[in-house]
């Protein structure tokens, strides 16, 4: 696929050198292409791929960016240049931190990382020793509470000394057990990397080669990730952050949108490039989204623009007196659309306060009117209304609230 020709701020961001840069990219504006072309431009300009690190939010995004980078490098420099790209890092922050620990700190060479399933199994096995049941009186509720609050501790780099009992003792014993078994949680990957980068020898080894750090979806980084990014950004490193404060959706997991809003005040000599052409949606949808974004307080000033021709009746808006009535209207609308011939698979219903997953067992549970996990507020009401209409759900819903800081000392 031939690279699209960029113009304006998109093209300027690709070629910019000499300072940190912030790329504010509206939804559907082609930020992945801009990042890929910038990466290829760096390599074509003589940058050593070993000195380029690009963070993505998910492994899937990493694979897409790698494929796009390879295509752009091959177009500009030929297939023989692709062999050099193996020295670059394109992946998640967690993967980078694990690589850093294993390469720079010998004691981590034999450590393994617990995914969510293995971590839960580990806590079930060690619950009696950790006395986890004392949190709520019920084992699995206590495990959920422990993990929820542990995530806050790790995402915000809260010192264990600032916690209160009984959570403090449980957390200390938990980390001690992990060390004995040479295991790490995903949150520890970042917190341990942050700690090691404050060691001069480790920091010097990393900064010896690192020259360009690219961070995608910057609006969704949490305090621990931002601390890591700051430590990686040494005196010879150009930091390029890409994102959109209007698309910040992970505050419930501890992300801080002020990282991107205040970026130009926290880093010196920043150039900002704004890409606002939405190449994905029709004008009515773009304007509706832009209108909502304008209501967000403290946002960066920008105006998303559509480039496609309009189509009729793209958006219908309405309001209801109560949450339950609103959800009943959604369910009845889906039923009418299906009766008119629209397949259920072509209908999507989203709830602002929830997250959707496509697990088949949740579909079966929902059709039997049994909640999948803990759903509250609009998610539960929407699911109940849909089940009453006997509709086929495309997935379950689960509301995940901002964690309560269990056992944290008051006043912080």
pLDDT by residue (tens digit) across 59-106?
A: 999 999 999 999 999 999 999 999 999 999 999 999 999 999 999 999
Q: Looking at the domain 8-104+192-278, which fold is it? A: Rossmann fold (3.40.50)
Average pLDDT, the chain: 84
Strands of the 238-243 sheet, one edge to the other: 89-92, 52-56, 212-215, 238-243, 20-25, 270-275
Measured in degrees and rounded to the nearest 5, phi and psi for residue 215 equal: -125, 115
The 10 Å CB-count burial string (b at 16+, else e) for 258-284 is ebbeebeeebeeebebbbbbbeebbbe
Q: Is the pLDDT at 119 greater than 80, yes or no?
A: yes
CA distance 227 to 219: 14
Q: Name the token pair of 301.
A: 């000033």
Give the global pTM: 0.79
Q: Name the token pair of 224.
A: 């621990």
| Contact call for residues 403 and 151 (beta carbons, < 8 A) | yes
pLDDT by residue (tens digit) across 237-292?
A: 999 999 998 888 777 677 889 999 999 999 999 999 999 988 888 888 888 888 88
CA distance 225 to 260: 13
Residue ranges per structural domain of the chain:
8-104+192-278, 112-181, 323-398
184: Cβ contacts below 8 Å, ≥ 6 apart: 98, 108, 111, 112, 113, 114, 178, 192
Q: Is the pLDDT at 198 greater than 90, yes or no?
A: yes
């Amino acid at each position: 696929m031939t690279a699209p020709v960029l113009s304006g701020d998109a093209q300027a961001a690709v070629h910019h050198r000499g300072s940190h840069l912030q790329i504010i990219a509206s939804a559907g504006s082609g930020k992945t292409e801009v990042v890929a072309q910038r990466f290829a431009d760096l390599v074509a300009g003589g940058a050593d791929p070993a000195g380029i690190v690009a963070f993505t939010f998910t492994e899937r995004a990493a694979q897409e960016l790698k494929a796009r980078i390879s295509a752009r490098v091959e177009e500009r420099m030929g297939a023989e240049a692709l062999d050099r790209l193996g020295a670059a890092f394109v992946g998640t922050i967690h993967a980078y931190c694990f690589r850093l620990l294993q390469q720079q700190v010998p004691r981590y060479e034999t450590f393994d990382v617990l995914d969510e399933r293995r971590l839960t199994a580990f806590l079930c096995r060690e619950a009696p020793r950790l006395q986890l049941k004392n949190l709520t009186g019920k084992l699995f509720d206590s495990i959920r509470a422990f993990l929820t609050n542990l995530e806050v501790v790790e995402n915000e780099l809260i010192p264990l000394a600032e916690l209160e009992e009984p959570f403090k003792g449980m957390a200390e014993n938990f980390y001690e057990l992990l060390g004995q078994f040479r295991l790490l949680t995903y949150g520890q990957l970042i917190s341990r990397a942050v700690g090691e980068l404050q060691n001069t020898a480790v920091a010097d080894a990393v900064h010896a080669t690192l020259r360009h750090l690219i961070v995608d979806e910057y609006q969704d980084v949490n305090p621990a990730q931002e601390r890591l990014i700051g430590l990686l950004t040494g005196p010879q490193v150009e930091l390029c952050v890409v994102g959109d404060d209007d698309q910040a959706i992970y505050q419930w997991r501890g992300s801080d949108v002020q990282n991107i809003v205040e970026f130009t005040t926290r880093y010196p000599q920043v150039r900002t490039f704004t890409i606002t052409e939405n190449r994905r949606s029709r004008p009515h949808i773009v304007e509706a989204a832009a209108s909502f974004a304008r209501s967000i307080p403290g946002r960066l000033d920008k105006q998303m623009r559509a480039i496609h021709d309009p189509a009729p009746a793209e958006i219908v808006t309405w309001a209801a007196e109560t949450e339950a009535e609103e959800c009943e209207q959604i369910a009845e609308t889906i039923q009418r659309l299906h009766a008119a011939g629209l397949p259920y698979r072509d209908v999507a219903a989203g709830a602002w306060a929830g997250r959707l997953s496509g697990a088949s067992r949740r579909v079966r549970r929902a059709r039997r009117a049994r909640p999948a996990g803990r759903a509250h507020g609009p998610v539960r009401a929407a699911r109940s209304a849909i089940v009453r209409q006997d509709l086929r759900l495309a997935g379950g819903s689960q509301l995940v609230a901002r964690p309560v800081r269990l056992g944290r000392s008051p006043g912080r």
